[in-house]
Amino acid sequence: MNQLAPAAVFAAVFIALYVAHSVGDHWVQSSCQAAAKGQPGWPGRLACGRHVLGLTITKGLVLAPVVLLLHLPVTALGLTLGLGIDALSHYWADRRTPLKRLADRCGKAEFYSLGTPAHPGHPVTAKGEYAPTLGTGAYALDQSWHILWMFVAALLIATV
**Tens of pLDDT, residues 101-154:** 999 999 998 888 887 777 766 677 778 777 666 678 889 999 999 999 999 999
pLDDT exceeds 70 at position 4: yes
Structure confidence by residue, pLDDT tens digits, 67-81: 999 999 999 999 999
Tens-place pLDDT, residues 29-51:
999 999 999 999 999 999 999 99
The per-residue pLDDT for 15 is 98
Note the pTM of the prediction, 2 decimals.
0.86
The predicted pLDDT at position 1 comes to 44
Residue 38 has phi, psi (to 5 degrees) of -100, 0
On the 0-12 / 13-18 / 19+ scale of CB atoms within 10 A, 47 is buried
Contact present, 105 and 82 (Cβ < 8 Å): no
